[in-house]
A and B are shown apart, each in its own frame.
Chain A
Amino acid sequence: MLESIGNFLESTGIAKLFGLGSNTIEDWSWLKTIIMLVISFALVYLAIVKKFEPLLLLPIAIGMMLTNLPGGGLFHLDFFIQEHIDFGQVLHDGGLLDLLYLGVKLGIYPSLIFIGIGAMTDFTPLISNPKSLLIGAGAQLGVFVAFFLALASGFFTAPEAAAIGIIGGADGPTAILVTKTLAPKLLGAIAIAAYSYMALIPMIQPPFMKLFTTDKERKIKMTALRPVSQLEKILFPIVVTCVVGLIIPDALPLIGCLMFGNLLNVCGVCDRLSKTAQNELMNIVTIFLGITVGATASADNFLDIQTILIIVCGLAAFCVSTCGGLLTAKVMNIITGGKINPLIGSAGVSAVPMAARVSQKVGQEYDPSNFLLMHAMGPNVAGVIGSAVAAGVFLSWDWASML
Chain B
Amino acid sequence: MNTAMIRNVMMATDGVKPLGERLTDGLQVFIIGIVAVFGVLAVLWGVLALFKIFFYDLPEKKKQEAAKKALENTPAPVIADAPAENAPAAEDDTQLIAVITAAIAAYTAESGKSALPFRVVSYKRLKGANGWNGADENETI
A and B, one complex? Answer: yes
Question: A: which residues have CB within 8 A of B?
Answer: 126-127, 130-131, 133-134, 136-138, 140-141, 143-145, 147-148, 151-155, 158, 161-162, 226-227, 229, 231-232, 235-236, 239-240, 243-244, 247-248, 360, 369, 371, 373, 382, 385-386, 389-390, 393-394, 397, 402-403
A231 to B55, CA, bound (A): 8
A-B contact pairs, 21 of them (CB 8 A): A134-B41, A136-B41, A144-B30, A147-B33, A148-B27, A152-B26, A154-B19, A155-B9, A158-B22, A158-B29, A162-B29, A226-B52, A227-B56, A229-B56, A231-B55, A243-B40, A371-B137, A385-B44, A386-B41, A394-B33, A402-B25
Quick one: which of A137, A154, A397, A403 contacts B37, CB cutoff 8 A? A137
User: Residues of B within 8 Å of A, CB-based: how many?
Assistant: 38
The prevalent SS among residues of B at the interface is helix
A243 and B129 in contact, given A152-B23, A248-B36 (Cβ under 8 angstroms): no
A76 to B122, CA, bound (A): 82
A154-B8, A154-B19, A393-B36 are known contacts; what are 7 more A-B pairs with Cβ within 8 Å? Answer: A148-B27, A148-B30, A151-B25, A226-B56, A239-B47, A243-B47, A397-B29
Cβ-based interface call for B45 (8 A): yes
Please tell me if the beta carbons of A147 and B26 are within 8 angstroms of each other in the complex: yes
Please tell me if the beta carbons of B141 and A373 are within 8 angstroms of each other in the complex: yes
Closest chain A residue to B16 by CB distance? A154
Please tell me if the beta carbons of A133 and B41 are within 8 angstroms of each other in the complex: yes
Please tell me if the beta carbons of A144 and B34 are within 8 angstroms of each other in the complex: yes
The distance from the CB of A334 to the nearest CB of chain B, in whole angstroms, is: 18
The distance from the CB of A381 to the nearest CB of chain B, in whole angstroms, is: 12
The distance from the CB of A204 to the nearest CB of chain B, in whole angstroms, is: 21
Please tell me if the beta carbons of B51 and A161 are within 8 angstroms of each other in the complex: no
A140 and B42 in contact, given A231-B55, A232-B55 (Cβ under 8 angstroms): no
Cβ-based interface call for B48 (8 A): yes
A394 to B44, CA, bound (A): 20
Interface residues of B in 105-140 (CB under 8 A from A): 129, 134, 137
A131 to B49, CA, bound (A): 9
A393 and B37 in contact, given A130-B49, A133-B48, A151-B26 (Cβ under 8 angstroms): yes
A154 to B25, CA, bound (A): 13
